[in-house]
Amino acid sequence: MSEPEQPKLTLLFVDDEASILSSLRRLFRQHGYNILTAESGAQGLEVLEKETVDLVVSDMRMPEMDGAKFLEEVRLRWPHVVRILLTGYADVTSTIAAINRGEIYRYIAKPWDDNDIVLTVREALEHKRLESENLRLLALTQRQNEELKELNASLEQKVAERTAELRQTLASLDQAHKELKKGFMATVRIFSGLIELRGGKLAGHSRRVAEHARDLARALGLDEAEQQDVFLAALLHDIGKISLPDALLERPFTALSPQEKVDFMRHPVRGQQVLMGVEQLMGAGRLIRHHHESMDGSGYPDRLAGLAIPMGARILAVANDYDALQMGTLILQALGPSQALEFIVRNRGHRYDPRVVDAFKDILREDISGMPERGAGASVLRSAAEEDSLIARRRFRSVPMTSDRLKEGMVLSRDLMHHEGYLLLSQGHRLDESLIKQLKEIEVIGERPLTVHIRIEERS
């Protein structure tokens, strides 16, 4: 793209000799200037009043108004016009007067050299352009300095006002965040309470599991966000059970029919699906999905094993089963707190993460001390230490039996595990007629016989 064409500059030549004006016109027209002429100072002033002129070249000796007087008048009325004087060698005194009074740019002696006079005019016009540009830039700089001065004068006030606005905004956002978080937690607790509204064994279960899970997460050094996910997952871990019938929820898992077990085992996935639409609960949903996985890979729904199970889910598994054992919703009998902990410890490394189990033992050590046992089988259960002591005093052997050989009063010498990897009865449990009947039904449903190890005292 070509640059815009610059406007032609206008030169005014003033001389009382027509031949000189003609020579100057011919010389400068070929250099692209607009040429104006005047034969006297008075005529030159008339031209300046009508035309825009960039440079004046005036002869010194003219009748009525000499060059010095003419250029002085030009300086007074059109100071931006560049002034050059043509003078002879004999006009030194008049030239000095013109320099002083007219403030001419330069004087040129007659007769002139064409190249010199053209170069002098060109330099004079360039000098004028530079002066004009300098004046423009100076004015621009001064204006910008004034604006900057005004800006600096009000900057502190503006900064203070803006800072106050930001603080107020941040305070409002912080309050809004607190209110939002408060409302969010209230909503989570409402969801958590939906399953408990059905009463029965599930009443209070989620709250107790959440408290234990939160304590475990802190003890194991999880960061704040991870602790939050564990707590939320614990409160909502049973939300996938909402669609299950009451009769199924009230019975131990080991007593369910195969189809009922299939339905029940879908609840972790349902729970995650329910929460998928809430971004803040996606992490908790992942923990809910995997809180029934086992360290040995025998759990569900994805049969994850070991460290593939999220730490939060491993924490939730311990906290959930500890409470479920006491409610009687995990195995065929309800255990007391210490027996529930013994169950957790016995399955350390098999069902539960050893690190989580050890931390849970430390947390419960003082709580378990002096706590009364509860559950139907509490009176017939002994701790592992008591069993070892009993065996040390009396000689027993472990005899494997099928269900048709079982009799009321027999005591298990080992944990009785279902072929799917779930505990049916714990070591030391005393059989009664109802339990023997349930075990036979489990054999029929599972189409696989159970081997029950019974403790038999050896007679000396």
pLDDT of amino acid 50: 94
pLDDT of amino acid 435: 81
For residues 7-36, average pLDDT: 91
DSSP 434: H
Higher pLDDT, 179 or 127: 127
Contacts 24+ apart (CB under 8 A), 359-367: 359/216, 359/219, 359/220, 360/212, 360/216, 360/318, 360/319, 360/322, 362/219, 363/212, 363/215, 363/216, 363/219, 364/337, 367/337
pLDDT of amino acid 374: 40
DSSP 265: T
Based on DSSP, count helices (H) and strands (E) in the chain, helices before strands: 16, 9
Residue 411: pLDDT over 50: yes
Alpha-helical segments (H) within 197-291: 205-219, 224-236, 246-250, 258-264, 267-275, 282-289
pLDDT of amino acid 89: 59
Higher pLDDT, 306 or 44: 44
pLDDT of amino acid 206: 82
Residue 97: pLDDT over 90: no
pLDDT of amino acid 292: 92
Residue 218's closest CA among 343, 322, 363, 61?
363
- How many CA within 13 A on the CB side of residue 188? 25
The residue written with tokens 């139907």 in the block is 376
Residue 385: pLDDT over 50: no
Binning pLDDT at 50, 70 and 90, where does residue 376 land? Answer: very low
Provide the edge-to-edge strand list for the sheet that holds 106-109. Answer: 34-38, 10-14, 55-59, 82-87, 106-109
Residue 391: pLDDT over 50: no
pLDDT of amino acid 339: 92
Residue 441: pLDDT over 90: no
Residue 216: pLDDT over 70: yes
Binning pLDDT at 50, 70 and 90, where does residue 44 land? Answer: very high
pLDDT of amino acid 341: 93
pLDDT of amino acid 257: 80
Higher pLDDT, 94 or 376: 94
Higher pLDDT, 185 or 280: 280
pLDDT, one tens digit per residue, over 239-268 is 887 777 776 767 777 777 888 777 778 888
Residue 285: pLDDT over 80: yes
Q: SS3 of 44, please?
A: helix
pLDDT of amino acid 413: 86
Which residue type occupies 304? Answer: L
The percent of residues above 90 in pLDDT, for the chain, comes to 29
Q: Which of 145-154, 307-316, 413-422, 438-447 comes out lowest in average pLDDT?
A: 413-422
Angle between helices 224-236 and 114-196 (to 10 degrees): 40
Residue 234's closest CA among 318, 307, 304?
318
Give the Cα separation of 289 and 270 in Å (integer): 8
Binning pLDDT at 50, 70 and 90, where does residue 212 land? Answer: very high
pLDDT of amino acid 397: 85
Residue 153: pLDDT over 90: no
pLDDT of amino acid 5: 61
pLDDT, one tens digit per residue, over 178-201 is 655 565 556 566 555 556 555 556
Residue 6: pLDDT over 70: no
The residue written with tokens 């007067």 in the block is 97
Q: Name the average pLDDT for the chain.
A: 80
pLDDT of amino acid 240: 80
